[in-house]
Amino acid sequence: MSALKLHGIVPPVVTPLTPDYQVDEVSLRKVIRHLIDNGVHGLFLLGSTSEVVFLNAKQRADAIRIALDEANGAVPAVCGVMDPTTDRVIENARQAKELGVDGLVVTSQFYPRTSQNETIVHFSMIREAVDLPIVAYDIPVCTQLKLSRETLMSMYEQKLICGLKDSSGDDGNMRMVMKDFEDKPDFSILTGSETTVDYALLGGAHGNVPGLGNVDPAGYVRLYEAAQRGDWDAARAEQERLIRVFQIVFQGVPHTSPNASGVGGFKTAMHLMGLISHRHMSRPNQLIPDAGVEKIRQILTETGLLH
């Protein structure tokens, strides 16, 4: 496996959509520029925040092609290949490789009831089929399976994975994973949290994949840089401001689903900030209602992101 060592702020790039639900090229280029100009260290294309499982092969290809073209190699770009089962993930992975991504981000299977051992087989088949570095993605709220400490170490030792994106919300277990891997310098661990990034960096995480980084990449970069220089007071202050911004994800429910409230919150904020032309998500996600939009506008104003 060619080397890939992610670090720093690697946002899961939002996928802006046109009114007819295709990838909005103008907006996506603007988002990529916004992220790179604000100093992010990598791009995670087609993550959960990118509505990946809502997109078909063409839409996924469009999103990858446009993002890579706009990024032009400024930072490494990894790509989610989420689908329920192994060979369908491999189809996605082959397309992503052909389009030039630097690595894959892979979850366990979902919909079928799977197991830790089967997950290792799943990763090994993907690894065998497509010659790209793989970051394991632990997101049990979507997949129903938590990648165990033993599974992660076994996959590392079999050279199946080069890193972990932990979106499990279980910071205590992630801390122990970081200890398990402390003498494996070629393995990178990133937290998917938006609200405990200073924690993870204090604990030795190499980086962060914050959905909210689409809205405020500069904030997350400042947080990361403060942590890098050991200025934990500054890191915490930045994190606390970002927690205030993060409240934008709670303005849709109960009108919408948790998914539409979260990603919809990001898109609504980016639309208000002039970053994307439309704030709607893929079908059937419903728009955040007007009261929620106003609350998001207020949060952005109070936290200095909207003037």
Residues lying near a second copy in the complex (CB under 8 A) are found at 21, 48, 53-54, 56, 82-88, 91, 109-115, 117-118, 121-122, 125, 141-144, 169-172, 175-176, 179, 193-196, 198-199, 202-204, 230, 232-233, 236, 239-240, 243-244, 246, 254, 256-260, 282-286
H/E run at residue 181: none
Smallest separation (angstroms) from a second copy to the CB of 94 = 12
Residue 238, Ramachandran bin (φ over 0: left; ψ between -120 and 50: alpha; else beta): alpha
H/E run at residue 266: helix 258-272
137 catalytic residue (yes or no): yes
Smallest separation (angstroms) from a second copy to the CB of 124 = 8
Residue positions in the annotated binding site for pyruvate?
Answer: 49, 209
265/276 Cα distance (integer angstroms): 13
128/234 Cα distance (integer angstroms): 44
Q: Which is nearer to a second copy, 4 or 59 (CB)?
A: 59
Beta-sheet strands, E only, within the chain: 8-9, 43-45, 77-80, 103-106, 134-138, 163-166, 188-191, 207-208
114/143 Cα distance (integer angstroms): 10
Q: Which of 137, 156, 220, 224 is catalytic?
A: 137
Beta-sheet strands, E only, within 25-81: 43-45, 77-80
Q: What is the CA radius of gyration of the chain?
A: 18
H/E run at residue 214: none
Smallest separation (angstroms) from a second copy to the CB of 173 = 8
Q: Which of 30, 97, 165, 267 is catalytic?
A: 165
Smallest separation (angstroms) from a second copy to the CB of 62 = 14
Residue 161 structure tokens: 């994975």
Q: How far from 105 is each of 78, 93, 131, 132, 182, CA to CA, in Å?
A: 7, 9, 13, 10, 21
179 catalytic residue (yes or no): no
Smallest separation (angstroms) from a second copy to the CB of 25 = 19
**Catalytic residue positions?**
137, 165
